[in-house]
Structure 1
Amino acid sequence: MMKKILLLSLAFLSMQQLIAQEDTLVNSYEKKNEVKLNGVMLLIGAFEVAYEQNLNNDSSAGISVFIPFDREVFNDELNFYVSPYYRVYFSKKYAAGFFVEGFGMFSSMKIEEYYYAPNGAFSSYSEENYSDFALGLGVGGKWVTKRGIVFELVGGVGRNLFNTDATDISIVGKFGFNLGYRF
């Protein structure tokens, strides 16, 4: 009789342990912080990293930093940008699925101009740095594995608000395939 009670108790405790492990796997989706790296930008010559905090089931806020390292691709024009964003998710999953994003983008650009005399000889050169701020909208999708790996497709378009005459850049874009980790 004592053996039956002991075995029954062990079986009950084992079931409790299994249920607790299942709960921790489900709750791993609901972690608050994410770090991500944009794989598309790495391929074309820039480093873009993002940090995002999940505010609740339906929204998150984050910031991304973009720094080009291949100057041939970016024509020495874009020095960097910093882009805060806010997302609203339209899914039953915790901070995942289809989303709409509003973003700001503070950017620094270097504009180089070469001047030539009428006979074609080099006359002078000027270089000026400009800063601008853009507002924009984006859409995307986010998928999260049970282990916290994040896959994300995102694209957006915005408009510079200040130095568009000096830089001839009025429309800005954000796009990428981000890989990251939720913790």
Structure 2
Amino acid sequence: MKKILVLLALGFSMTGIAQENEAISFKKNELKGNALFLVLGAVEATYERIITNDSGLGISLFFVSNEDDFDTNFILSPYYRAYFGKKQAAGFFVEGFSSISTGVENKIYYSDSNGNVDNIDKDRYTDLALGFGIGSKWIHKRGFVFEINAGIGRNLFSDNSPEVIGRGGITLGYRF
């Protein structure tokens, strides 16, 4: 009888169902470039790390080589995104961002009624802004990324910086 009980216990233990923790693996890194700014003469590169299926952290770097084209010549902007799409970290998103920016405020004084410039003063600024944005991201099955986004923020400290800043673009990249 003992042998039968031992064999039954051994048989049940071998046929027992064990729960396995299956790790979900997906591509978590993205490198992107803003095609809209590239056409306008500036460069914006972005790195995003996907945290979960519906959130990500990123940092964006914007700069221009010719200060005459843009008032702002450098922006470093970290952000957090919450995604609402069906695919992993894709679809409609809402983001909160901050940005540290430097640039030049041009003060122009006119001397006559013809519009001839008498004096141009340039005041440099560095400022911190907080803002929010919305957008949408599409992911190709091979990892290519297409994104459209827009946002608005407010500079907090400098009197020489623009009071309101914009953020946005048409972005192309790759997820790996």
Partner residue, 1:160: 155
Q: Offset at 1:47?
A: 0.4
TM-score under structure 2 length normalisation: 0.77
AA aligned opposite 1:59: S
2:172 matches 1:179: yes
1:107 aligns with 2:96: no
8 Å Cα contact 2:106/2:121 also seen in 1 = yes
1:1-183 correspondence runs (5 A): 30-74=26-70, 77-113=71-107, 126-163=121-158, 165-167=159-161, 169-183=162-176
Q: Are the structure 2 counterparts of residues 55 and 115 from structure 1 closer, same or farther at C-alpha, using a change threshold of 3 Å?
A: same
Structure showing greater Rg: 2
Alpha-carbon distance in 2 for matches of 1:129, 1:72:
13
Counterparts of 1:121 and 1:97, CA distance in 2: 51
Corresponding pairs, count: 152
User: Identity over aligned residues, as a percent?
Assistant: 49
Equivalent position amino acid for 2:175 in 1: R
Distance in 1 (CA, whole Å) between partners of 2:144 and 2:116 is 57
Superposition CA RMSD, Å = 2.5
Structure 1 residue 135: deviation in Å?
0.6
Return closer, same or farther for 1:157/1:124 CA change in 2, 3 Å cut-off.
closer
Question: Matched residue of 1:91: which SS?
Answer: coil
Give ranges in structure 1 of 5+ residues lacking alignment.
1-26
What TM-score, normalized to structure 1? 0.74
Query: Does the 8 Å CA contact 2:138/2:146 hold for their aligned counterparts?
Result: yes
Q: Which amino acid aligns with 1:61?
A: L
Q: Is the 8 A contact 2:124 2:160 kept in 1?
A: no
**Greater shift after overlay, 127-136 or 82-91?**
127-136
User: Distance between the aligned counterparts of 2:93 and 2:117, measured in 1?
Assistant: 51
Letter in 2 for 1:170: E
Query: Using a 3 Å threshold, how does the CA distance of structure 1 residues 71 and 123 change in structure 2: closer, same or farther?
Result: closer
Q: Against the structure 1 CA distance between its residues 178 and 121, is the aligned structure 2 distance closer, same or farther, given a 3 Å change threshold? A: closer
Distance 1:145 1:81 in 2: 29
**Unaligned ranges ≥5, structure 2:** 1-24
- Alignment partner of 2:160: what SS? helix
**What letter corresponds to residue 106 of structure 1 in structure 2?**
I
Distance (whole Å) between structure 1 residues aligned to residue 85 and residue 110 of structure 2: 58
Q: Name the SS for the 1:179 alignment partner.
A: strand
Deviation of 1:128 after TM superposition, in Å, equals 2.8
State the alpha-carbon separation in 1 of the partners of residues 166 and 88 from structure 2.
27
Equivalent-residue separation in structure 2 for 1:32 and 1:121 (angstroms)? 55
